[in-house]
Structure 1
């Protein structure tokens, strides 16, 4: 397999899960400003959507969108710890991935477009806080160690990557104790440390 990524972007979640399932894969860095790969290939020829991640499963067979890529990769876990194979447990993983992708991801993405004036920035911070408050309370109300159950999975990887963006936009995560508990557990995983080093995010 081959993962097209940009350092620290949402493709980091797929990078983490690839490390978790311990398969051979290649990384291809994409410049999201020029839409060129590190070998100067037009990325639109690989993924016409123009953004990451894109997962090349076999030559010419490309899968895009984290809500598709993350469960696809997680199901290759030989222990089936990353995602339940079927039933309500799997549905809950997809529910979280959908929410993170459509709500939290979009809320952060506002900061990475055109510069925001002060009122727009305040409104954008408030929207992130509204979503994180819901997530934090949902974690508090459950008896699970992670978002879905007691096992780390793709939704936890995605939450970790998105909330990392708070560092880039100078957003305070400290009020969200339960989110931070999961973040800390995810950050300590070897798969995460390797992915972040490979992407140049940590030394």
Structure 2
């Protein structure tokens, strides 16, 4: 497999899971401004949408969108319990991935896709905080070690990556103590440390 990625982008979640499942894979960096890969390939020829992640499973067979890529990788080795095989447990993973993708990802993305004045920034921060408050309250009332159950999984990787963006936009995560605790736990995983190093983030 080959993961087309941009350092620190949402493709980092797929990079983390690839490290978790211990498969042989290649990485190819994408410049999202020029849409060229590090080998000089037109990224639009690989993924016509023009953004990461793009997971090349076999030559010519490419999977995109985190809500598809992350469960696909997580189910690679059922013994690792990264995702329930079926039923409500798996549906809860998909529910979280859908929420993170459509709500939290989009709330952060505003800062990267437009020049915001101070009023617009305040509104954008408020939107992020509203979503994080929902997650914070959920974690506060949950008996699980991670978002879905007691096992690390794709939703945890995705939440970790998205909340990393708070540093880039000068957003304060300090009020979200349960999210911070989950982030700290995820950050300690060897798969996360390896991915962060490989992408030049630490």
Fold shared, TM-score > 0.5 on shorter chain: yes
**CA deviation vs aligned residue, 1:8-29 (integer Å, no higher than 9, x gap):** 0000000000000000000000
Note if 1:159 corresponds to 2:121. Answer: no
What corresponds to 2:46 in structure 1?
A: 46
What is the CA-CA distance between 1:4 and the residue it aligns to?
Answer: 0.2
SS at match of 1:79: helix
What corresponds to 2:12 in structure 1?
A: 12
Aligned Cα RMSD in Å? Answer: 0.6
- The number of equivalent residue pairs is 202
Question: After the TM superposition, which residues 51-200 of structure 1 pair with which residues of structure 2 at under 5 Å, given as runs?
Answer: 51-200=51-200
For structure 1, which runs of at least 5 residues remain unmatched after alignment? none
In 1, are the aligned partners of 2:78 and 2:85 still within 8 Å (CA)?
Answer: no
What is the CA-CA distance between 1:70 and the residue it aligns to?
Answer: 0.1
For 1:76 and 1:92, locate their aligned partners in 2 and report how far apart those are by CA, in whole Å: 18
For 1:97 and 1:39, locate their aligned partners in 2 and report how far apart those are by CA, in whole Å: 31
For structure 2, which runs of at least 5 residues remain unmatched after alignment? none
**CA deviation vs aligned residue, 1:28-49 (integer Å, no higher than 9, x gap):** 0000000000011100000000
TM-score (norm 2): 0.99
For 1:124 and 1:35, locate their aligned partners in 2 and report how far apart those are by CA, in whole Å: 27
For 1:60 and 1:130, locate their aligned partners in 2 and report how far apart those are by CA, in whole Å: 40
For 1:171 and 1:157, locate their aligned partners in 2 and report how far apart those are by CA, in whole Å: 20
For 1:73 and 1:56, locate their aligned partners in 2 and report how far apart those are by CA, in whole Å: 12
SS at match of 2:145: coil
